[in-house]
Amino acid sequence: MRIRIRNEWVALLPERALFWPTHSLLVVADCHLGKAETFQQQGFWLPSQSGPQDLKRLSALALKVDAKQVLFLGDLVHSLSGVTQTVVEEFAQWLSDFSGSVQVVLGNHDAGLARRWPQEWAKVERCEQVRREPFLFRHQPVDAPLEADTFYWVGHVHPMIQVAQGPDRLRLPGFVINDWQGMLPAFSSVSGGYDVPLRPDERRFAIGDDRIFEL
């Protein structure tokens, strides 16, 4: 679904990503690579294939939209302990396969990794935030606009949208957008989400059946 923000067209994608055609820029948030490995170390079973499958989805999506740049909007990994050599090699292979540029906005889950960044990931440009007028890409949401002329794209929250209540209660991942900020859903296939309280100035776009619909 294409929407216009600050005179720029962007596409909200059912694959849980944002595409900005002006810069051929694909944006994903909260991949949480290594989450399965983190929980396995704690005695909980999660499928190790979730990470490779997410990277495969990302490769297919980048090819579909012809992305020349990919921006990870924080929480690329889940924890330092989950970044096993296998996880390092899987993401290194993805980096090798993608011919464009790659930036990572460091999120709270990336803190440990930022100090021990794998050499195999040297292609990645690490940032605290990325400014591309009229947008500012960062991990953490802001409670109020810090700059009047700037629109913020953020991750971190893993927004879920209630589309039905009561016995048939249904929550779907989606995008939450107001006049100055847009929240992206988590790209990770094994991460939950949080209900975002409805505000009168917001638009909500839920993801279901491989399509986007506005509530």
As a whole number of angstroms, the distance between CA 175 and CA 93 comes to 29
90 Cβ neighbours under 8 A, 6+ residues apart: 33, 51, 52, 55
β-pairing, 151-154 vs 135-137, is parallel
> What is residue 214's predicted lDDT score, i.e. its pLDDT?
94
SS3 label, residue 182:
strand
> What is residue 166's predicted lDDT score, i.e. its pLDDT?
63
As a whole number of angstroms, the distance between CA 57 and CA 69 comes to 16
> What is residue 115's predicted lDDT score, i.e. its pLDDT?
85
34 Cβ neighbours under 8 A, 6+ residues apart: 51, 77, 78, 79, 81, 82, 83, 84, 87
Residue 157, H or E segment: none
Residue 3, H or E segment: strand 2-5
Tokens 């039905």 belong to 164
Q: What is the pTM of this model?
A: 0.94
> What is residue 136's predicted lDDT score, i.e. its pLDDT?
98
As a whole number of angstroms, the distance between CA 173 and CA 163 comes to 10
> What is residue 81's predicted lDDT score, i.e. its pLDDT?
84
In a structure prediction context, what are the per-residue pLDDT tens digits for the chain, which is 215 residues long? 999 999 999 999 999 999 999 999 999 999 999 888 887 878 877 777 889 999 999 999 999 999 999 999 999 999 888 889 999 999 999 999 999 999 999 999 999 888 899 999 999 999 999 999 999 999 999 988 888 889 999 999 999 998 866 666 788 999 999 999 999 999 999 888 888 877 888 999 999 888 999 98
As a whole number of angstroms, the distance between CA 176 and CA 178 comes to 7
> What is residue 185's predicted lDDT score, i.e. its pLDDT?
98
Strand partners, 5: 8
> What is residue 55's predicted lDDT score, i.e. its pLDDT?
97
59 half-sphere exposure, CB direction, 13 A CA radius = 16
> What is residue 56's predicted lDDT score, i.e. its pLDDT?
98
Question: Strand runs (DSSP E) across 21-158, as ranges?
Answer: 25-28, 69-72, 101-105, 125-127, 130-132, 135-137, 151-154
Burial environment of residue 138 by CB neighbours within 10 A (0 to 12, 13 to 18, 19 or more): buried
Q: Which domains does the chain have, with CATH numbers?
A: 2-156 (3.60.21)
